[in-house]
Amino acid sequence: MRALSGYSAEELVRILAPLPPYKAREVFKWIARGVRDFEGMTNLGKQEREDLSRRFTLRSTGRDSALADRDGTVKLRVSLRDAAAEAVLLRDKEGRGTACISSQAGCPVGCAFCKTGSLGFLRNLEAGEMVEQVLHIREIGAEQGTEVSHLVVMGMGEPLLNLGELRRAAEIIMDPQGLGVSRRRITVSTSGICAGIRELADSGPHLRLAFSLTSAREELRNALVPIGRDNPLKQVKEALGYYQQTTGQRITLEAVLLGGLNTGAEEAAAMRDFARGLDAVVNLIPWNPVEGLRFRGRALREPSGAETEAFAGLLRQGGLAVTRRFRRGRGVSGACGQLGWTSGGPPR
């Protein structure tokens, strides 16, 4: 049966006919409010509810196991019809909740430092599967008294390789009658897909954009982020400039710091060169360990605190704005780069 979570209000008007349009729009609102079945839609008639439940379901995914870290992070395994994906509830010091969702089951990019990348690629997620991750995370937040106000598409997968479904999901999530998350509170992180960045600039929605730079030295970057071979840094920078020009937004440059690999003076100089001419802030993400990941024959290691601080200092000396990602969710392997199907074996 078709699940309705992945459709906009106007699509539901068509799909749910002969239900009157104003009632189809009510169904859209009920789904966003988290109702689990048609029975809960109390402003529909009994007969209408029965008809709809014979033809449709509201959701296609389920809340599987959830692991809570001491720092308040919750990692949720979401069961899909044929696989699994992971979504994370992050809570900052002020108690603000952010949902981190996946856009693909697995990932075809294969970054050397990322658990998801080591798993291979299964398929793109559908819009409804992304919307439902937000619903699940919002429900977990509500159970814990955390309002989930922000969204980052930084979980499993490369969102710009699934742009069509991402766009559909974002429309539903941003709709004031739906989940009502403002465009400014949604960030998409990309490994640097030039065509996708340009398409997002041209066709919207103009979400906040983060580029996972990691190294501005092309040879090292291409080894760490293989998709870089098809998306050279010069072209990525041009695409980011175009996005910035089109949207007027500041770009975030993310750098996963790998001890002894991309934390030296040469790297800092290359990053400063890359950022020149962009309105950008660099977000440093000390690598979160993933067992078994090796690079050029050696085990990867996380940078020491001093290494990270020294690197941040070198960037700042060059006039760059630098922030540091707080480590959250490591206790449940729910931190950046650690997502996979850890809580129950491989996907079905």
Residues making contact with ligand SF4 (CB under 6 A): 107, 109-111, 114, 116-117, 156-158, 191, 337
> In the annotation, is 86 catalytic?
yes
- Among residues 86, 126, 158, 165, the one annotated as catalytic is 86
CA angle 157, 225, 320 (to 5 degrees): 100
- Among residues 100, 107, 111, 336, the one annotated as catalytic is 336
> 41 or 125: whose CB is closer to ligand SF4?
125
Instruction: Tell me which residue of 227, 209, 197 sits closest to 283, measured CA to CA.
Output: 209
Question: Across the strands, what pairs with 269?
Answer: none
> 221 or 237: whose CB is closer to ligand SF4?
221
> In the annotation, is 114 catalytic?
no
CA distances from 100 to 103, 152, 167, 275, 277 (A): 10, 5, 16, 26, 30
What lies within 8 Å, CB to CB, of 22 at 6+ separation is none
Q: By the 8 A CB rule, do 69 and 329 touch?
A: yes
Question: Minimum Å distance from CB 228 to ligand SF4?
Answer: 11
Give the number of residues written for the chain: 348
> 38 or 113: whose CB is closer to ligand SF4?
113
Q: Which residue is nearest to ligand SF4 (CB)?
A: 117
> 12 or 227: whose CB is closer to ligand SF4?
227
> 8 or 222: whose CB is closer to ligand SF4?
222
Instruction: Tell me which residue of 44, 7, 170 sits closest to 103, measured CA to CA.
Output: 170
Question: Minimum Å distance from CB 309 to ligand SF4?
Answer: 24
Question: Minimum Å distance from CB 30 to ligand SF4?
Answer: 33
Q: How far apart are CA 42 and CA 39, in angstroms?
A: 7
Which one-letter DSSP state was computed for residue 38?
G
Structure tokens at 177: 């009658």
Question: Minimum Å distance from CB 154 to ligand SF4?
Answer: 8
Q: How far apart are CA 345 and CA 267, in angstroms?
A: 37
> 157 or 178: whose CB is closer to ligand SF4?
157
3-state secondary structure 122-187: EEECCHHHHHHHHHHHHHHHHHCCCCEEEEEECCCCCHHHCHHHHHHHHHHHHCCCCCCCCHHHEE
Question: Minimum Å distance from CB 153 to ligand SF4?
Answer: 10
- The pairing of strands 280-286 and 104-106 is unpaired
Question: Minimum Å distance from CB 200 to ligand SF4?
Answer: 16
Residues annotated as catalytic (active site), given as ranges: 86, 336
